[in-house]
Amino acid sequence: MESINLIESFSEFKEVKNIDRATLMSIIEDVFRSMLLKKYGSDENFDIIVNPDRGDIEIWHNREVVDDEFAEDSFDYDEAKHIGLTEAKKIDDDLEIGEETTTPVKLLDFGRRAVLAVRQNLVSKILELEKDSLYKKYKERVGELMTGEVYQIWKKELLILDEEGNELLLPKTEQIPSDFFKKGDTIKAVIQRVDMKNNSPIIVLSRTSATFLERLFEMEVPEVFDGLITIKKIVREPGERAKVAVESYDDRIDPVGACVGMKGSRIHGIVRELKNENIDVINFTSNPSLFITRALSPAKITSVKIDEETKRAEVFLKPDQVSLAIGKGGHNIKLAGKLTGYEIDVYRDTDIDLEDVDLEEFSDEIESWILDELKNIGCDTAKSVLELSTEELVKRTDLEEETVNEIKLILQSEFE
């Protein structure tokens, strides 16, 4: 028996990743039924058998044997349903009027153009369904941690392949600034979102989102994964610093200690994955003053004044704690504000206003190279600078008069 051989089409879809076998066979059958409808006006009298393992499809035509006069002259004759007796005898000499005969439909019956059209239709439908299936699959996985392999490196993004060979994108904006990957490297990221562009799913990954850090904690800390410790909130400056507020409903579990691990064993794995990002794990509390105090760690706070209406907090510290509270590049105070939900203003403790202040305490207001210039001439404190005239400072340093005046204003405001 001759069957319609579609070995080329089937081989193209042998590795279809996101469509199950039953769905694939159903698509193939539907495509061929549409071809039968075009040729015969009906597909009711046809049986279609898909053989994906052999790479072919069989179409059987079932027809009732009628007398030749009916076949030639009757308006009720339908070639999709009937076959004349003379024609039927060519198939099987024992056939009689009223019986049913089944014959294979040959490829040549449709013509080359129709076969090419059906093959193109088949390719189009399967690709479309695969894209839709991939979109739905990853849409349901948004927020999950995944591991992939770096396949292609471009200026603005990386092309990542998952374990099934699906293509995912990691944009530069979603990479930690110090990230550096080579082709073939294994990479961890969280599924950030799934977009549709030109009817194709675009799966975007992220290593900078708070969700990525949360998933890493779930992976490294069993108590977080089991729900014994709850992560209340995470804020990050990717590659620089992160603050994680945790809480345990079991008094026997120390949430901070469990997350950090013995000698930092658990947190170290997360820090390495985040390219040495500093991670502060903080005990969550509903007391805003205490929460702000903990959030500004490692700085030690003297007192906190809160205005609930404006959501502002005035924090008072010893002078040597101010730079710790602000942190490098202002990251510490910025993240503490995001974590607590308050706009935090830092003030030096008023009890020591009359004392001298080390120049290092002004590192957030005065550039480091200027401070170095002043230290080089023996000025280590604010008062030691203010005791010298502007002319003397210009003469003994490489600073401009305008710069010196600006510095003096900043230092003077400390004692006002």
How does pLDDT run across 303-314, given as a tens digit for each residue?
999 999 999 999
Judge contact between 307 and 313, C-beta under 8 A.
yes
pLDDT at 192 over 80: yes
Judge contact between 149 and 186, C-beta under 8 A.
yes
Q: For residue 349, count other CB atoms closer than 10 A to its CB.
A: 16
Q: pLDDT of 58-81, one tens digit each?
A: 888 888 888 877 767 776 777 778
The stretch 87-92 carries a mean pLDDT of: 79
Residue 20 one-letter amino acid: D
Give CA–CA dist 238/230, Å, rounded.
22
In the structure, what pLDDT confidence band is assigned to residue 3 with cuts at 50, 70 and 90? very low
Strand pairing partners for 51?
A: 56
- Token readout for 229 is 């410790």
* Domains of the chain, start order: 4-136 (3.30.1480), 148-206 (2.40.50.140), 285-350 (3.30.300.20), 359-413 (1.10.150)
pLDDT at 5 over 50: no
Work out the mean pLDDT of the chain and round it to a whole number: 85
Judge contact between 145 and 216, C-beta under 8 A.
yes
**Residue from 291, 273, 271 nearest 283 by CA:** 291
Reduce the DSSP state of residue 82 to 3 states and report it: strand
Q: pLDDT of 128-159, one tens digit each?
A: 888 888 899 999 999 999 999 999 999 999 99
Q: For residue 127, count other CB atoms closer than 10 A to its CB.
A: 15
pLDDT at 4 over 50: no
In the structure, what pLDDT confidence band is assigned to residue 114 with cuts at 50, 70 and 90? confident
High-pLDDT (> 70) share of the chain, %: 90
Reduce the DSSP state of residue 139 to 3 states and report it: helix
Residue 370 one-letter amino acid: I
For residue 362, the 8-state DSSP code is: G
Instruction: Please tell me the number of Cα atoms within 13 Å of 85 on its side-chain side.
Output: 9
pLDDT at 352: 45
Reduce the DSSP state of residue 183 to 3 states and report it: coil
Which of 37-41, 269-273, 349-353 has the highest mean predicted lDDT (pLDDT)? Answer: 269-273
Peptide bond into 171 cis (omega under 30): no
pLDDT at 222 over 90: yes
Instruction: For tokens 């961890």, name the residue.
Output: 188
Q: pLDDT of 315-356, one tens digit each?
A: 998 887 888 888 888 899 999 999 999 999 988 875 544 467
